[in-house]
Structure 1
Amino acid sequence: MDGDTTQADSGLGTDFDDDFDPLIGKLDPALPSERYLDRELSWLAFNQRVLELAEDPTLPVLERANFLAIFASNLDEFFMVRVAGLKRRILTGLAVPTNVGRAPQDVLTDISTHAHALQARHALAFHDLVRPAMAEAGIDVVDWQSLNDADRRSLRTYFSNQIFPVLMPLAVDPAHPFPYISGLSLNLAVRVRNSKTGKQEFARLKVPPMLPRFVRVDRTESPDSIRYIALEDLIANQLGDLFPGMEILEHHVFRVTRNEDVEIDEDETENLIKALEKELLRRRFGPPIRLEVTEDMDEVTLDLLVRELDVTEQEVYHLPAPLDLGGLFSLRIDRPELHYAKHVPTTSVQLLPGEPNAEPDIFTSIAQRDILLHHPYESFATSVQAFLEQAAADPNVLAIKQTLYRTSGDSPIVDALIAAADAGKQVLALVEIKARFDEQANITWARKLEKAGVHVVYGLVGLKTHCKLALVVRYEKGVLRHYSHVGTGNYNPKTSRIYEDLGLLTADAQVGKDLTRLFNELSGYAIEKKFKRLLVAPLHLRKALLKNIATEMDFALEGKPSGIRIKVNSMVDEDIIDALYRASQAGVPIDIWVRGICSLKPGVVGLSESIRVRSILGRYLEHSRVFSFHNLGDTQLFIGSADMMHRNLDRRVEALIRLIDPAHLSEVDNLFDRAMDERTSSWWLDGNTGQWTRHDRDDNGAPLDDIQNRLMQQISRRKRPSARR
């Protein structure tokens, strides 16, 4: 779902790289040709891990329902981007290289096989596991047939008053061609017979997306005993009102997924926003790539849909009702005991005021020492958001510069930038309007900022600006001082409560100079190729990482201590993987902590024996990116926005910042120790089989340690340091 996807807002999304580059890594005869796991199947394995959380009976039942919804939402985006991209390139005759060297059509076939199995398992998890568990807790999803007469009368009244006026049945006949079916919409396919002529007709009825997906059956019941019926089930049993005088022969639910990716040739357009808006309109009419139908659909109706939508048998998914379990997101039920225990983020102890009841002074705190933030355990609102809000209100602040990749609908960050501009400060906002599925929202933000007097730019042609940067320039005692924030996550107060991210607040002059140069490059024509504490893509991030990996390899070959630790959302890039293989062959111990895709094969004899790969999924989306190199004890440790994917290294502006405070280095090292510990609940990747195995119980059946729960407890108990330098 970036983790930078709107789908990821639900808690467990992933990034999709829709660019199909030729293999970057050259075929090394010293390495086996079949040394990568298929990235598409690896993504499906990631979504299977999400599903395993929904299947886990030890988790609160409404969280399990939420994981079912996340699985569905993730899979929708996978089809809209990755599957659509593969199919588009096959149809247009473009080369589609894959990281496993197989024909793209074979890859599509494998995707279909795995996706069919996963969707069937997903439906089974709802019907056999989660739905009964919800019912035991007093939350029942019922169907029309199970209702008594009183329930039906009540729902008919609700239908007449709240639903019927919104519905728009569309007939299909010589005068009415088959209607356009919007992507991801729920629809009823209805076959009727004219009682006078005996002629059969077909109609499509869209389930209104603005209405509640699940309707309360009896609104007078207590919150501890609630029944819901799916909106489409309710509508399907009132079709006589929509087709009076007609005999209802068949009615079935179906859903179409379309190619909704956006393509813009930036070199051929004079106005990026207008070109993007035009492309967003075109997105709605992308070709269908998946047809989901209820498993009881008759052959006549199915044949009609397949023919009119032009999909193949491989692209049809027969599933038990209800379709689109993403609708479970709408079950907002105030039953705390059925959710994760509430967690209130704590304010970083280094940002607390020196005296009780005193007002916090963000700038004074940052000036004393670098501050490493760990969200959502530490509050985004009282750190990054407060930093920008204080900057906007501070008369000594002269300028604010910031990147915005994704932000929330009601954004205090944007409000702070507008307030700063209103106060006469110089404000620069680099808004990435090409952030997938947030394009329209970002265009809206950009225009709002421009109207307020903010200098808005859109980055560099051909590159997405994905780095997470904020720079405040403040006048202090006759000189200008720079206060900086570099993070791993977006400036989004909403997702900051469910995304795990790291961020650094610093008054380091060198970081300020680095960010000043980088912002000048992004807003003007400056070309800076060297930075002191930053690694920046696409110019030199890849080279720097490869150099650090090679250095560790050289140390190992010399018999010296070595080590590499990497935490990312995705590990796909072949050059990086090959470098890690060579380092492993030299004996470098390597730990990789990955949330989503991993094309690297760990633990393979003669190839990657010293590499371990772990994945951790839970209530929070693991989103931070960390790169740590032992360097003979002088640890080189970076945090930032880049995953190990082609696009991040070669077609995005990314930034990593080096941490230098020994306490920060120790804190991040302890994170890795805990994540890789066999006593921590996690998934382990077997490089020989490509299978992920969940390790959540010890040999005696006792639950293993939940790292996220442990961090919540540990960070909430932190005390202010007795001395501050």
Structure 2
Amino acid sequence: MKPDTAGAPNTAAILLPERFGSSEVQTARATEDRIDIPEFAPSLIPDGDVTPERFLDRELSWLAFNARVLELAEDPDLQLLERVNFLSIFASNLDEFFMVRVAGLKRRIAAGLAVPSPAGLSPIEVLEQISDAAHELHVRHAHVFADQIRPALAAESIHLVHWTELDDGAKARLSTMFAEKVFPILTPLAVDPAHPFPYISGLSLNLALVVRNPVSDKELFARLKVPDQLPRLISVDGPRAGTVPGRVARFIPLEEVISEHLDQLFPGMEVLEHHTFRVTRNEDLEVEEDDAENLLQALEKELLRRRFGPPVRLEVATDINPNVQALLVRELDVEESEVYALPAPLDLRGLSVIGGIDRSDLRYPKNVAHTSRYLNESETAKAANVFAAMRRRDILLHHPYDSFSTSVQAFLEQAAADPKVQAIKQTLYRTSGDSPIVDALVDAAEAGKQVLALVEIKARFDEQANISWARKLEQAGVHVVYGIVGLKTHCKLSLVVRQELDGLRRYCHIGTGNYHPRTARYYEDLGLLTADNQVGEDLTKLFNQLSGYAPKSTFKRLLVAPRSVRSGLIDRIEREIANKKAGLPAKVQIKVNSMVDEAIIDSLYRASQAGVQVDVIVRGICSLRPGVPGLSENITVRSILGRFLEHSRVFTFANAGDPVVYIGSADMMHRNLDRRVEALVQLRNPEDINYVLTLLERYVDPETSSWHLDNEGLWTRFHLDDTGQPLSDVQSWLLSSRSRQRSANRR
């Protein structure tokens, strides 16, 4: 294999220096002090000094993750509109990073909590290195669009145009659109002795204007917000533009249309200049649950406050007047290091408009998820009786390769409609108000069933939506609870209790992903449907713990955070160490979104020192240093990014030849292991265990395209072999293998 060196100098520059919300700013011990049920959340944070050279900085590791996303946008072998989408995703990711992580660091510094990170860096040092890396990434991102993507789109007759490039007919249509849809909602705000500098909302795109009064010859400043109710990029040629190869499709930034009609907003004034700018604010939430009589009301109040958080980043167009920039810096009270001068257009999240064009020749081949063969062997569109299938065997689901709608969704819809079902208990972290999952719970409650919904309304950036559908559930008669004070409920659980001839039987689903039908189409996740009695007992205890008071519950097939996930996994790792010393098969493989927790990492270091092979597959942050002589030379770290968002969490152990496999909701981060309710379930079906082991071996195979992490924190992409041919893409392999499996079943 050979590494892809395109863009390598940039990546190296980002990573050679030595790691998202307000809850993470507090230490685990400080959080425990606020928990009313200490038996449920004992401290497992190791005492003593932490040796910094053992860990990579998590914030810089996150920026390295986003640099990998950017590498996909830079890849000329990817379909063009997918590259456009990766540019948009990169921009959205970076916004969230500043709103949460950078804001959290600034808050720690302001509060005097300047405790060094596990990597040995003070918050000020981390901020400085973030600034250097983020400035470079911003510029690189802008140039990828200007130098690569924009010309490639033009070659496909998709153009991002300026007003001056339009013909008279197009200008007339846009002027009509402006008069009817834009002008009525614009609010120009002047700045003068009678009008103070206006509040600039977070992530809004704005025009900074300099206008002159021809009577007094006085120049004044004004601000105009570009409305976010409208598409960021306006189609010049109609909604079907760009869907036919060869037919010209033109898009123009909304701010350009507004800029050409500024005279209508300032009649009698002369508009001398206008510049785009954008502010990012601290938008993390701080809700002290102990002091809140009603969590919903407290969260709604905090959501209102979020809009007024302090600024953490100012983006300006490179052609901005220095005097105007100085005014913005002064009035917004930002540091010069927090100013990012970029070529227009700003806010490339808006490229999702172009990325959504219906051009099958410019995007990944369409994926049609199929029903699991254990749920519907006839391959019809509708799932068979899910309960009957679950009585026959445990069913391991792998989304989006297995259909969510004919498995998990069908399970809950059939439960809602089945007169033999007595009760449904469900956790909901992120979903949508029009979700069929929510509808199924409403239908079940209206049918007289006992329905409990454990709603995590504090799921970051989904709070407002979660409040809305929580109220919808309450109005339908669903018992809605919000979990345990001080802990987010992040586990993915469904429990259905059904009356059968031999008594009550419990049917369960435990997953790694949210109950969100739309994201299930492009999030890679695992889930287990089971009627196993032990799992049913475990889920019954866990739901009782979440809705009532049962802090000392014990579980048979589950590991539950914050009590037993960290300790349970470390215990399993220690067993692998003992097996290795005894000459028995020993191996650890972990697939997660983030690997940060120092106790888990140190246990993996101990395993490596004992000679145990450790494979880590991580999508995002990784604070573990692999390949350090005497510390981690038996550890490899790989990252897979691609068409689907790798989201499953998997933990496998060789266990002396009798493999143990867990799947579940927990990432290896302090917030997951100490401040969230998480659940991992042990798989028991040998076929399911073998499937997961085979899957992870494919992920770490040297012939699989992936990024490799070295001990200095540098990620290198390997996606070509020594002859320049593409390595295997694991997601494409899964799609094709499922297709071959279906063909074989039909024969």
TM-score normalised over the length of structure 2? 0.92
* Match status 1:387 vs 2:406: no
**Cα 1:157–1:358 shift into 2, 3 Å:** closer
- Out of 597, 614, 630, which is 1:590 matched to? 614
Once the two structures are TM-superposed, the CA of residue 213 in structure 1 deviates from its matched residue by 1.2
SS at match of 1:701: coil
* Match status 1:167 vs 2:186: yes
**Cα 1:440–1:221 shift into 2, 3 Å:** closer
* Match status 1:521 vs 2:540: no
- Out of 490, 495, 512, which is 1:471 matched to? 495
Once the two structures are TM-superposed, the CA of residue 221 in structure 1 deviates from its matched residue by 6.4
- The residue type equivalent to 1:363 in the other structure is F
For 1:219-618, list aligned pairs within 5 A.
219=238, 223=243, 224-331=247-354, 332-352=356-376, 360-618=384-642
Once the two structures are TM-superposed, the CA of residue 138 in structure 1 deviates from its matched residue by 1.1
Stretch deviating more after TM superposition (555-564 or 343-352): 555-564
Distance in 1 between residues matched to 2:412 and 2:512, nearest whole Å = 17
CA contact (8 A) 1:353 1:359 kept: no
**Cα 1:355–1:406 shift into 2, 3 Å:** closer
- The residue type equivalent to 2:24 in the other structure is D
* Match status 1:125 vs 2:148: no
- Out of 633, 636, 640, which is 2:660 matched to? 636
CA contact (8 A) 2:373 2:379 kept: no
CA contact (8 A) 1:350 1:720 kept: no
Distance in 1 between residues matched to 2:105 and 2:186, nearest whole Å = 36
- The residue type equivalent to 2:150 in the other structure is R
Q: Deviations over 1:83-125 (max 9, x none)?
A: 0011012112234441212111110010011000001000001
SS at match of 1:598: coil
Distance in 2 between residues matched to 1:115 and 1:659, nearest whole Å = 42
**Cα 1:661–1:359 shift into 2, 3 Å:** closer
Which residue in the other structure is 1:11 paired with? none
Which residue in the other structure is 2:16 paired with? none
- The residue type equivalent to 1:524 in the other structure is G
**Cα 1:563–1:163 shift into 2, 3 Å:** same
Once the two structures are TM-superposed, the CA of residue 154 in structure 1 deviates from its matched residue by 3.6
**Cα 1:222–1:347 shift into 2, 3 Å:** closer
CA contact (8 A) 1:240 1:248 kept: yes
Once the two structures are TM-superposed, the CA of residue 527 in structure 1 deviates from its matched residue by 2.2
Which residue in the other structure is 2:13 paired with? none
Which residue in the other structure is 2:14 paired with? none
Stretch deviating more after TM superposition (386-395 or 208-217): 208-217
CA contact (8 A) 2:20 2:97 kept: no
Stretch deviating more after TM superposition (150-159 or 591-600): 150-159
- Out of 1, 20, 23, which is 2:25 matched to? 20
Which residue in the other structure is 2:32 paired with? none
- The residue type equivalent to 2:417 in the other structure is A
- The residue type equivalent to 1:191 in the other structure is V
Which residue in the other structure is 2:128 paired with? 109
SS at match of 2:53: coil
Which residue in the other structure is 1:199 paired with? 218
* Match status 1:700 vs 2:723: yes
**Cα 1:535–1:457 shift into 2, 3 Å:** same
SS at match of 2:423: strand
Once the two structures are TM-superposed, the CA of residue 269 in structure 1 deviates from its matched residue by 1.9
Which residue in the other structure is 1:216 paired with? 235
- Out of 644, 647, 650, which is 1:623 matched to? 647
Once the two structures are TM-superposed, the CA of residue 541 in structure 1 deviates from its matched residue by 1.2
CA contact (8 A) 1:529 1:539 kept: no
* Match status 1:658 vs 2:658: no
Once the two structures are TM-superposed, the CA of residue 26 in structure 1 deviates from its matched residue by 4.2
Distance in 2 between residues matched to 1:349 and 1:28, nearest whole Å = 52
Once the two structures are TM-superposed, the CA of residue 338 in structure 1 deviates from its matched residue by 1.1
CA contact (8 A) 2:576 2:587 kept: yes
- Out of 682, 699, 702, which is 1:678 matched to? 702
- The residue type equivalent to 2:528 in the other structure is L
Q: Deviations over 1:167-192 (max 9, x none)?
A: 11111111111111110000000001
- The residue type equivalent to 1:138 in the other structure is S
Q: Over aligned residues, Cα RMSD in angstroms?
A: 1.9
Distance in 2 between residues matched to 1:367 and 1:668, nearest whole Å = 22
Q: Deviations over 1:473-526 (max 9, x none)?
A: 011104000100000000000100010000000000110000001000100111
- The residue type equivalent to 2:469 in the other structure is W
Distance in 2 between residues matched to 1:202 and 1:222, nearest whole Å = 39
SS at match of 2:131: helix
CA contact (8 A) 1:353 1:361 kept: no
Q: Deviations over 1:274-317 (max 9, x none)?
A: 11111111111000110000011111111111111000001100
Once the two structures are TM-superposed, the CA of residue 250 in structure 1 deviates from its matched residue by 1.7
- Out of 138, 157, 160, which is 2:176 matched to? 157
Distance in 2 between residues matched to 1:366 and 1:720, nearest whole Å = 24
Point out where structure 1 has 5 or more consecutive residues left out of the alignment: 1-13
Distance in 1 between residues matched to 2:310 and 2:381, nearest whole Å = 60
CA contact (8 A) 1:90 1:96 kept: no
- The residue type equivalent to 1:286 in the other structure is G
SS at match of 2:66: helix
**Cα 1:154–1:21 shift into 2, 3 Å:** closer
SS at match of 2:720: coil
CA contact (8 A) 1:17 1:645 kept: no
TM-score normalised over the length of structure 1? 0.95
Distance in 2 between residues matched to 1:33 and 1:167, nearest whole Å = 52
Once the two structures are TM-superposed, the CA of residue 15 in structure 1 deviates from its matched residue by 6.3
Distance in 2 between residues matched to 1:681 and 1:461, nearest whole Å = 43
**Cα 1:565–1:131 shift into 2, 3 Å:** same
- Out of 176, 197, 220, which is 2:195 matched to? 176
- The residue type equivalent to 2:214 in the other structure is S
SS at match of 1:718: helix
- Out of 705, 710, 719, which is 2:733 matched to? 710
**Cα 1:355–1:544 shift into 2, 3 Å:** closer
**Cα 1:393–1:222 shift into 2, 3 Å:** closer
Identity, % of aligned positions = 64
Once the two structures are TM-superposed, the CA of residue 18 in structure 1 deviates from its matched residue by 5.0
Query: Whose relative contact order is higher, 1 or 2, with alpha carbons under 8 Å and at least 6 apart?
Result: 2
